[in-house]
Amino acid sequence: GDSVTQMEGPVTLSEEACLTINCTYTATGYPSLFWYVQYPGEGLQLLLKATKADDKGSNKGFEATYRKETTSFHLEKGSVQVSDSAVYFCALNPGNDYKLSFGAGTTVTVRA
Amino acid sequence: NAGVTQTPKFQVLKTGQSMTLQCAQDMNHNSMYWYRQDPGMGLRLIYYSASEGTTDKGEVPNGYNVSRLNKREFSLRLESAAPSQTSVYFCASSFRNNLHDEQFFGPGTRLTVL
């Protein structure tokens, strides 16, 4: 079935370091792909999305490109801040169902 | 706009007790969802409601029931709580139930079943 696999954490970085969180997916159709972020004590909020192959989603300095050939949607940021400390979830909507499938989440801690 | 609100924020139950988790949204969204979040497992869909008057099972519906009271409100009921239902529960909503639509999440309810 449709699923998402993302790199395990936790990830600990220093401020201004580069961040990459890998996400790969399995889907039979043409899914839309999402990155959600969960700050401590809060619910999830959409960080960025891409709805078709080669689309690039971007927000708050984060980027992810929908790569159909490698079935990937890796999240990247060139220079992280302490405020980026959160749990990041990759997710997909397969397009033929209601279900939003989430990865297990990656905890990122940025130290000053 | 408050977005998606959930009550209560925290709850402790004993095995066998029942309770209802409340969720409301003020964004005029058509679709609403209940998820549970467990460590290392991401979010799993319990039930969803594509539109007012309809509900459907998700990935992990056993032990739960839902009611779409009106367009704004979607409640989740545990009839006889079990320790395996200890989790953080999130309600979400979206304007339509299709692949491009963003889901908006509430702040969550942390439930412990002893």
Say whether A93 and B43 touch across the interface (CB within 8 A).
no
Size of chain B in residues: 114
> CA B92 to CA A91: how far, in whole Å?
14
Say whether B107 and A99 touch across the interface (CB within 8 A).
no
> CA A64 to CA A74: how far, in whole Å?
5
> CA B74 to CA B103: how far, in whole Å?
15
Q: Is the pLDDT of residue B88 over 90?
A: yes
**From B45, B92, B106, residue closest to A99, measured CB to CB:** B45
pLDDT tens digits along A16-42: 999 999 999 998 878 899 999 999 888
**Burial of B51: CB neighbours in 10 Å, binned 0-12, 13-18, 19+:** middle
Q: In the structure, what pLDDT confidence band is assigned to residue A98 with cuts at 50, 70 and 90?
A: low
Better pLDDT: B19 or A98: B19
Q: Tell me if the bond preceding A31 is cis, omega within 30° of 0.
A: no
- What pairs with residue B79 in β-bridges? none
pLDDT tens digits along B17-72: 999 999 999 999 999 999 999 987 889 999 999 889 899 999 899 999 999 989 99
